[in-house]
Structure 1
């Protein structure tokens, strides 16, 4: 099996997908120009797709904290073993660990994104968590995540239904491992080396970057508005249901009060009926005694 580290495209992609999200497109285009002598490589670089926000967050996590990602994948492997061995106790324990771990790691990924100036919606966070869950359930998803070259989020049920078509930057990425790039604390004793390089396309690139940022902001706004509308519809639906239930409850209370009044009336009537029954029984007993006395008198004649 060829060493994926010897693949120049993957090495270049490793650098590109480690960049801040807004820098990807101009850096990719510049890299394609730099390798224009190799037309096949330049075309392959130009064909690298920009990652979605959720995929970028997972790629960032893989590079910033590979140990935590390895822990996620290790728990996933143990979970798959427990499923194969049908160990119910282990299965429940690992499933619990999986949910706790994916939630915790997603929170860490959102924090890293904020440090990069990217705010994420709950919908994006759900996609990140779904991707981590897929990596725990499916070995191919684990390799895709570990490559650090994701371009879309992943979703899997653990039933072998995972489709990785177009999910990574290149098919060869499944054998690749992203290079760790932890954030180093700035050294106050070192002054940055500044080099001014004139760029004739600076205005065009700046305009393109601004357009891209605007498009991303609009996409985030659209997603937030969608979530807001869904939440508002849910609130309105529950408010209507609350009013309906309150009306039904008031009606039932009124009905209960009416039934209680009727019960009191029936109780009074029952008492009167029971008294009348007692009198009637007494009259029957007296009449029977009289009948018996008359019979005896007749028989004596």
Structure 2
């Protein structure tokens, strides 16, 4: 039954969010009286971020496979990397996930769904989880997500959380069927005057203006944050450079003082050796005088 359920789920989760519920209920009704009716009826509608990832997996399967392969290679190489190399790795991973997330947003827009920045952040977090965690990668590749994924990359993803993000428990290891974008229907060549054309044009222009304003605000906020990071890191760099210069000066002073102490040590050793020789001579003379005195006393 699980294989049949996965095939049905594969078809349903390829639909848009607006089509999902009606198609699921209709399919469950067709299966009434069978063991599949209840599991199909229980399939949950995916959240928007999960649907966007599922859409990406089906429309750009090759892109997703490449992303997962890169993630696997980076996980293998990570153990041998230095701190600097790990920072570079993290930056490259962010660039990859950001680029693929933008591609997913474009696919969603083509399918009639505008993706907000909040949803895009969830999509990017899910793709990042797929790169840093093998089990998350398998979950993403199934195309049967109902909720976004996230992981720190330090500890393995919680099994219960991973299961809750999947339409069916057996989804791990399943590979979503690639699907092309639906062909556009034939154009309507009839020319019908639209009395509301001017109002619609104004509405479209207003919507475009609002979208551009939102995009500007997001870009300005991102620029401000990046500029603050640059200022903070520049100040820290100057501070560390000053500390490093001070340490170098102290090392140079210590080396100079060490040379002086070594010279003084050599002189002191010479004086000690001379004093030791004089002590031996004086000791011998004292012992001889004492012996001569004792001989005369007898």
> If the length of structure 1 is used for normalisation, what is the TM-score?
0.58
2:95 matches 1:81: no
Aligned residues: 188
| SS of alignment partner, residue 175 of structure 1 | coil
Shift of 1:78: 1.4
Retained in 2: the 8 A contact 1:79–1:95?
no
User: Where does residue 24 of structure 1 map in the other structure?
Assistant: 20
Shift of 1:93: 4.2
Supply the distance in 2 between the matched residues of 1:128 and 1:114 (Cα, whole angstroms): 14
| SS of alignment partner, residue 23 of structure 1 | helix
After superposition, residues 3-152 of structure 1 pair within 5 angstroms as 7-38=3-34, 40-86=35-81, 91-152=86-147
| SS of alignment partner, residue 95 of structure 1 | helix
2:169 matches 1:171: yes
Supply the distance in 2 between the matched residues of 1:127 and 1:96 (Cα, whole angstroms): 18
Superposed CA deviations along residues 213-251 of structure 1, whole A, max 9, x for unmatched, are xxxxxxxxxxxxxxx9xx9xxx9xxxxxxxxxxxxxxxx
Superposed CA RMSD in Å reads: 2.6
User: Where does residue 280 of structure 2 map in the other structure?
Assistant: none
User: Where does residue 181 of structure 1 map in the other structure?
Assistant: 179
Superposed CA deviations along residues 20-76 of structure 1, whole A, max 9, x for unmatched, are 1100000000010111131x3110001111100000000000000011111111111
Superposed CA deviations along residues 83-125 of structure 1, whole A, max 9, x for unmatched, are 2333556544432321111101111111111111111111000
Structure 2: segments with no counterpart, 5+ residues: 187-213, 222-298
Shift of 1:160: 2.4
| SS of alignment partner, residue 177 of structure 2 | coil
User: Where does residue 192 of structure 1 map in the other structure?
Assistant: none
Over 3 Å counting, the alpha-carbon distance change for 1:32 and 1:24 in structure 2 is same
Retained in 2: the 8 A contact 1:136–1:142?
yes
| SS of alignment partner, residue 133 of structure 1 | helix
Retained in 1: the 8 A contact 2:58–2:178?
yes
Over 3 Å counting, the alpha-carbon distance change for 1:56 and 1:93 in structure 2 is same
Structure 1: segments with no counterpart, 5+ residues: 189-227, 236-301
Supply the distance in 1 between the matched residues of 2:155 and 2:27 (Cα, whole angstroms): 37
Retained in 1: the 8 A contact 2:131–2:137?
yes
> If the length of structure 2 is used for normalisation, what is the TM-score?
0.58
